[in-house]
A and B are shown apart, each in its own frame.
Chain A
Amino acid sequence: MKSRQTYRIWINRICSGLVCLFCLLALVPFFAVVWSLLSHGLELFHTNLFDQLFLNYSDEMVRQVEETSVSANILYGMGGSLLIVIIGLIPAVPLGILFTLYVFENRFHGFASLIYYLGASISGIPSVIIGMIAYLWIVEPLNGFPALAGGLSLSIMMLPIISHYTLHVLNILPVGLKESAMALGASYTDTMLRIVLPSMKNGLFAGILMTVSRMIAQSVPLIIIVMGTSAIQGDKSLSHAALPVLIWNFFNCPDMIHRMWAASLTLFLMVLVLTVFAKCMSYPLQNKKRISL
């Protein structure tokens, strides 16, 4: 009997050890990225990172595309990134929330489930295709407006993420809340707009912040739009106007590689701050229950 107990204790210890080991292994990529960014980026952080410099491209292909030099001020990049994300949020937030409210309220109908899965499948579309679509929809017919195209591409990518967080918040909302409002004689619209949506405020705000933190570092659709805009329209306004694109531009200049690390560290810190802030917001006071976003 005792030997069986000892055997179980040892099996427990081995399994616990393996779980801890794999947890640590899962954290290795995160710490490797943080270490690279800090070791390369931190020493340059105090230098004149926000100075107006111009990029000189060594890569022949890129030089052909970028005939004139582009500003290397990462303040432009930070502001531009925020602007593009805000352009993306303007249609994505109301559409994502209303779409999910519709799906949640009609969850027993097959049609609502079908369109929810169709909406969620947007997250499976490669970002390069979304970048090309935004380019073809905006830049080509309007002969410019790359920031708008960038915002649109991010907006498409934001929809399933906002929808996911909205559904999550709706699922933890007490069922009786809606019934209580309706039992007071409130109409369905008033119940949704004046009781249900305001009760979701904290969770939704946290979800939007998480969406921003994921989207602010998106590079592929923006690079596609920049390449297209520069090559065909000769417009370079977006080349320095988004941090991920700027990092890509730094990467193409051998003498600017140190700035690439500093800009990457800046972007990483922006994402980190947004994520931590969103996590703090996701403690809804009303339930004392945590939404794990």
Chain B
Amino acid sequence: MNSEYILELKDLSVSYSPDKYAVKKVSASIAPNIVTSIIGPSGCGKTTLLRSINRLHELYPSTQVRGEILLKGENIQKLPSVEVRRRIGMVFQQPNVFPQMSIFENVISGYQLNYIVLSKQDKMNVVEESLVAAALWEEVKDILYKKPTTLSIEQQQCLCIARAIALKPEILLMDNFTFSLDSERTDRMEELIYQMKEEQTIIVTTQNLSHAARISDYTIFMEEGRLIEFGVTSNIFLKPANKRTEQYITNQMQ
């Protein structure tokens, strides 16, 4: 089944405990090769929505999902969770490098964990491409076989981004990923996202509205688990259709 959208959310509701929904009836369609930001106050369900897209919310017990998520027209609930997560990568708020592996092994860990065998040259190419894309190559090219725990938190976050993009996922989810980065590196990440969207569809959650305005093509505004407004970023920020969106953006920008 072909679809012009890479990802479609249809009446999606997610709850962590019975009848207490963190995400309520969210519907949105996301086209390929664009950046979408999810904004909203703390606890509005941004992260839950993001985690339900790659079925990571299933790691918590007694989660309930209603509605559908379609990845290129296929219902992700009917696909193996392992395949869904391989096709939809994720970068978390806090960097979580694998401490027992070297920087090199961390980058190709996605291939190793999925039993995808690469030749020595291919491994090196993947590592170099991913680290260059994550703006970390220059800093780590001489210490590729050292443990990543020697890196700064910001460098570790870049390594996690490199690890996620090494597998070339169709969609990359980034959960408030600039939280651990300083302003200089955040700027570099914004450039990186701009380049990455040529190959990937990116969905980010962020508390930083100016960051969302700069990087995203489309923006979703959420409040209390509900999708309040979804549209082109410039419209959401300059001419919001909903009063609550306008109120939130005005308050946050002041």
Contact = CB atoms under 8 A, between A and B. Distances in A.
Contacts of A179: 56, 59, 92, 96
Contacts of A176: 92, 94, 96
Contact of B110 (A178, A184, A191, A199): A184
A195 interface: yes
B45 to A, nearest CB: 18
B83 A185 contact: yes
B160 to A, nearest CB: 7
B96 A190 contact: no
A101 B90 CA distance: 25
B114 A185 contact: yes
B109 interface: yes
Interface in A228-242: none
Interface in A185-212: 185-187, 190-191, 194-195, 198-199, 201
Given A180-B160, A183-B90, A285-B149, A194 B113 contact: yes
Contacts of A183: 54, 56, 85, 89-90, 92, 164
A285 B147 CA distance: 10
A286 B99 CA distance: 6
A42 interface: no
B113 A185 contact: yes
B61 interface: yes
A178 B98 CA distance: 10
B167 A184 contact: yes
A42 B160 CA distance: 56
B82 interface: yes
B250 interface: no
A108 B89 CA distance: 27
Contacts of B62: 108
A181 interface: yes
A182 B85 CA distance: 7
Contacts of A284: 99
Given A174-B94, A179-B56, A194-B113, A184 B160 contact: no
Contacts of A184: 85-86, 89, 109-110, 113-114, 163-164, 167
Nearest to B100: A198
A182 B109 CA distance: 11
Contacts of A181: 98, 109, 113
Nearest to B84: A185
A180 B99 contact: no
A118 interface: no
A185 B99 contact: no
B96 A185 contact: no
Contacts of A187: 82
A174 B80 CA distance: 26
Nearest to B92: A176
Contacts of A201: 100
Chain B interface size, as a band, is 20 to 34
Contacts of B110: 184-185
Chain A interface size, as a band, is 20 to 34
Which of A109, A176, A182, A201: most chain B Cβ within 10 A?
A: A182
Interface string A60-95: 000000000000000000000000000000000000
A34 interface: no
A293 interface: no
A201 B99 CA distance: 11
A177 interface: yes
B100 A199 contact: yes
A174 B96 CA distance: 8
A191 B163 CA distance: 15
A182 B86 CA distance: 9
A271 B112 CA distance: 41
Nearest to A284: B99
A246 B238 CA distance: 86
B59 A177 contact: no
A201 B61 CA distance: 27
B86 A185 contact: yes
Contact of B92 (A180, A190, A198, A285): A180
A286 B164 CA distance: 20
A51 B241 CA distance: 94
B167 A182 contact: no
B85 A108 contact: no
A190 B110 CA distance: 11
Contacts of B82: 185-187
Contacts of A285: 99, 147, 149
28 contacts: A108-B61, A176-B92, A176-B94, A177-B96, A177-B98, A179-B96, A180-B96, A180-B160, A181-B98, A181-B109, A182-B56, A184-B89, A184-B109, A184-B113, A184-B167, A185-B85, A185-B86, A185-B114, A186-B82, A190-B113, A191-B113, A194-B112, A195-B113, A199-B98, A199-B100, A285-B147, A286-B99, A286-B149
Given A174-B96, A177-B96, 5 more contacts: A183-B85, A184-B89, A186-B113, A194-B112, A286-B99
Closest 3 CB pairs of A and B: A185-B86, A286-B99, A186-B113
